[in-house]
Amino acid sequence: MVSKLFSPIALGDLALSNRIVISPMCQYSAEHGQATDWHLIHLGQLALSGAALLFIEATAVAPEGRISPNDLGLWSDKTEAALARVIQSIRHYSAMPIAIQLAHAGRKASTRVPWEGGQSLVPESGGWQTMAPSALPYAEGDPHPLALGDEDLKRIRNDFVSAAQRLGVDVIELHAAHGYLLHQFLSPLSNVRNGRYGGSPENRMRFPLEVFDAMRNALPDRPIGVRISATDWVAGGWDIEQSVVFAKELQRRGCAFIDVSSGGLSPLQQIPVEPGYQVPFAERIRRETGLVTIAVGLITEAEQAETIVSSGQADMVALARGMLYDPRWPWHAAAKLGAQVDAPKQYWRSQPREFKNLFKQG
């Protein structure tokens, strides 16, 4: 049987060799927003994995949009040059297409890195004033963000466009998930504004759609997709029904794909975590919109990924923690499923005898 997971697919005009995506994974290892040698090591090894598409981590479009002071950024010539060095080195040895996830953390910005606890940082301790649709903190005891005004929204929209026009990567993903700024606009739990950007679902979707439109207009030939949280997992919050409506609006605007995650907006969330727990959201959005859909979340086994794709629950699968634990996951999945995978010629002699045709050569 031919593996569907290892069959080709296209995002717009970009041809991909299989259906495996390496998710954007925050590394909290940048200096003043600039990529370091850690990013070269981290992304370099993943670019040799045989996956179809490599996502650079959530990358802030402005300094105040960083989750932590150590977040990667793309808002200046210096941040662009640092990341360009990493990408140039990777492309010298790997033909894997490269994507970037552009983000603004909103009220979830200005925190310590996870291994230092992740708590909010006040300006006196190296943090900064956060901003959000409404002056509501993420958690009790957090500093209150400033509610964004019209000029702030214009500036942030332009920041996304400016970042998207840098580097020349193959694919761009707009981060509207995990409780960050664009998700904060979508959810009624974090957006209690009056006027054209708050209230009804149509109004709450307006600013994220304006950002997407601005990026789409600036880069008409680039595949641009969106990551969403399909539900807040909190009663009265953003949910799958609203996500379907949002996805249909994105489809109308030329969205190339939708990357379906969930949660992150509220510490009150109740998530029933189990293997593939978010896949039904991707399946419903794919069924009701026809958008190319990426499923994420506790997808760890080759057979599981194959079933998701072959049964039509999603077009692609994205791995994060599983890929960090096993950076050769696509090799091992191809071996289990009787498929072939791209590998660097320097590694061709490494394939086990029983999988002598595992690597594509020539």
Side chain identity at residue 113, one-letter code: V
Name 343's Cβ contacts closer than 8 Å, sequence gap at least 6.
Answer: 48, 50, 331, 351, 358, 359, 360
Tell me how long the chain is.
362
Which two structure tokens, joined as six digits, stand for 333? 């999945």
pLDDT in tens, the chain (362 residues): 689 999 999 999 999 999 999 999 999 999 999 999 999 999 999 999 999 999 999 999 999 999 999 999 999 999 999 999 999 999 999 999 999 999 999 999 999 999 999 999 999 999 999 999 999 999 999 999 999 999 999 999 999 999 999 999 999 999 999 999 999 999 999 999 999 999 999 999 999 999 999 999 999 999 999 999 999 999 999 999 999 999 999 999 999 999 999 999 999 999 998 888 999 999 999 999 999 999 999 999 999 999 999 999 999 999 999 999 999 999 999 999 999 999 999 999 998 989 989 999 86
- 291: closest CA among 318, 267, 313, 258? 258
CA angle 140, 143, 149 (to 5 degrees): 115
Helices (H) and strands (E) in the chain, counts: 10, 12
Report pTM: 0.96
The catalytic site residues sit at: 180
Fold of 9-355: TIM Barrel (3.20.20)
Task: Return d(Cα 129, Cα 121) in angstroms, integer.
Answer: 9
The SS3 call for residue 20 is strand
Question: Is the dihedral angle over the CA atoms 313, 318, 324, 328 positive or is it negative?
Answer: positive
Which two structure tokens, joined as six digits, stand for 135? 């002056």
pLDDT in tens, 93-137: 999 999 999 999 999 999 999 999 999 999 999 999 999 999 999
